[in-house]
């Protein structure tokens, strides 16, 4: 924890100006009330104020290293009393000694100087107490700020852990389905099985490559999603159609890695599997006020019972968006007139 005054140029300037004002006030009193010569006024005022200002800087260290204990305050009080006596004694002895040496021929001033030792010490003690209280307030404020920063760092670590956990749920699920498909193709169409393994390898390489990179440009993310759809198209052939419509503003927009894969997987699982007709999966992205709006939609037959799922995909995406963007992002889905639609709003500026 740095010194609250010497660690900041602005604080040093303000602290110096305060003591110069104290010196000016003292000088005015000495000149107009006691009618001392200008040399004595300037010397006494500057020496006393600037020397105490320096001593006041040293008062930070007992405050820093003797924290006030509510359970046993006596030790802290005694420690500060001793520290205050050392500071006050040093200040009084140095200032009085130097002024006595400089103005030994000024009998009236020397008599006044010796008579004011007590009230100088009392005034210095009061100022020392004020400085200690200020230092304690600053110290507590810095501790609270550090604690707040630590809590934010811990929240960030927890958030990253949750995001990694959610991302780790995607790969096994997808890999399990893909390997089942490859297993069936090895008997019926070995060439397509080989093509599917190559595409799967490229897709998983992308997933591993960006495991530690939370955000990638939408253009890059969709490139991998097209690989995923190509893998599935090997299985379903002309039953699976897909279309992408992206505005130029969206292409470089950063999105969480693998955020769309569960949605495309759901679209295929709950529509293409059960349909005998071609199913169209569409993706679009456009700017909408302060958001980037991404929409994934697919055809489905409301009369045909859909495969029962666990709901992990949609909830996974919703949780990841909530963790990444807090209340600034959202995920909504609806099924109407034979079209299932998932809408994601990405904030264009987020923390």
30 plus 125 within the same structural domain: yes
Task: With H, G, I as helix, E, B as strand and everything else as coil, classify residue 62.
Answer: helix
179 lies in a domain?
no
146 plus 193 within the same structural domain: no
Give residue 212's pLDDT.
Answer: 45
Q: If residue 233 lies in a helix (H) or strand (E), which one and from where to where?
A: helix 218-236
> How is residue 332 annotated by DSSP?
E
In the listed set 150, 181, 216, which residue is the last one of a domain according to the structure?
Answer: 150
115 plus 198 within the same structural domain: no
Give residue 245's pLDDT.
Answer: 93
198 plus 335 within the same structural domain: yes
341 plus 218 within the same structural domain: yes
222 plus 317 within the same structural domain: yes
Give residue 211's pLDDT.
Answer: 52
User: In this predicted model, what pLDDT tens digit does every residue of 76-122 receive, in sequence order?
Assistant: 778 778 888 888 888 888 888 898 888 988 888 888 888 888 888 88
Q: Count of domains in the chain?
A: 2
In the listed set 124, 150, 176, which residue is the last one of a domain according to the structure?
Answer: 150
Give residue 191's pLDDT.
Answer: 84
Give residue 351's pLDDT.
Answer: 42
63 plus 203 within the same structural domain: no
119 plus 195 within the same structural domain: no
Of 221, 223, 215, 222, the closest CA to residue 323 belongs to 215
**What are the DSSP E strand ranges found in 159-226?**
215-217
302 lies in a domain?
yes
Domain of 214, in residue numbers: 189-347
73 lies in a domain?
yes
143 plus 36 within the same structural domain: yes
311 lies in a domain?
yes
CA distance 39 to 109: 12
107 plus 213 within the same structural domain: no
Show the low-confidence residues of the chain (pLDDT under 70).
Answer: 1, 67-72, 154, 156-174, 177, 207-213, 304-312, 349-351
For residues 301 and 275, is the Cβ–Cβ distance under 8 A?
yes
Give residue 236's pLDDT.
Answer: 81
336 lies in a domain?
yes
Q: Which domain CATH number covers 211?
A: 3.30.565.10
184 lies in a domain?
no
Give residue 174's pLDDT.
Answer: 63
245 lies in a domain?
yes
Give residue 79's pLDDT.
Answer: 77
> How is residue 71 annotated by DSSP?
S
181 lies in a domain?
no
Give residue 170's pLDDT.
Answer: 52
Residues with Cβ within 8 Å of 312's Cβ and at least 6 positions away in sequence, in order, are 169, 173, 262
């Amino acid at each position: 924890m740095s010194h609250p005054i010497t660690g900041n140029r602005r604080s040093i300037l303000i602290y110096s100006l305060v003591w110069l004002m104290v010196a000016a006030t003292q000088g005015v009193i000495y000149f107009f009330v006691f009618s001392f010569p200008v040399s004595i006024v300037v010397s006494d005022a500057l020496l006393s104020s600037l020397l105490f200002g320096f001593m006041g800087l040293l008062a930070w260290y007992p405050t820093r290293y003797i924290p006030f204990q509510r359970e046993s305050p006596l030790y802290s009080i005694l420690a500060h009393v001793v520290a205050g006596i050392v500071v006050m004694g040093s200040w009084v002895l140095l200032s009085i000694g130097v002024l006595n040496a400089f103005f030994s021929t000024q009998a009236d001033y020397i008599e006044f100087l010796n008579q004011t030792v007590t009230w100088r010490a009392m005034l210095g003690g009061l100022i020392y107490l004020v400085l200690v209280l200020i230092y304690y307030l600053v110290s507590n404020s810095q501790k609270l700020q550090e604690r707040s920063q630590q809590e934010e760092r811990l929240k960030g670590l927890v958030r990253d852990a949750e995001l990694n956990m959610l991302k780790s749920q995607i790969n096994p699920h997808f890999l399990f389905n893909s390997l089942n498909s490859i297993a069936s193709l090895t008997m019926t169409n070995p060439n397509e099985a080989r093509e599917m393994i190559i595409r799967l390898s490229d897709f998983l390489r992308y997933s591993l490559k960006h495991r530690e990179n939370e955000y990638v440009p939408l253009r890059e993310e969709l490139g991998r999603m097209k690989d995923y759809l190509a893998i599935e198209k090997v299985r379903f052939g002309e039953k699976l159609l897909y279309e992408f419509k992206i505005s130029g503003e969206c292409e470089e927009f950063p999105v969480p890695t693998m955020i769309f894969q569960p949605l495309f997987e759901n679209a295929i699982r709950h529509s293409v599997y059960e349909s005998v007709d071609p199913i169209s999966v569409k993706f679009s992205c456009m700017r909408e006020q302060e958001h980037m709006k991404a929409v994934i939609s697919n055809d489905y037959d409301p009369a045909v019972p859909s495969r029962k799922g666990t709901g992990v995909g949609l909830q996974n995406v919703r949780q990841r968006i909530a963790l990444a963007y807090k209340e600034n992002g959202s995920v909504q889905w609806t099924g109407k007139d034979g079209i299932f639609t998932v809408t994601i709003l990405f904030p264009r500026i987020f923390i």
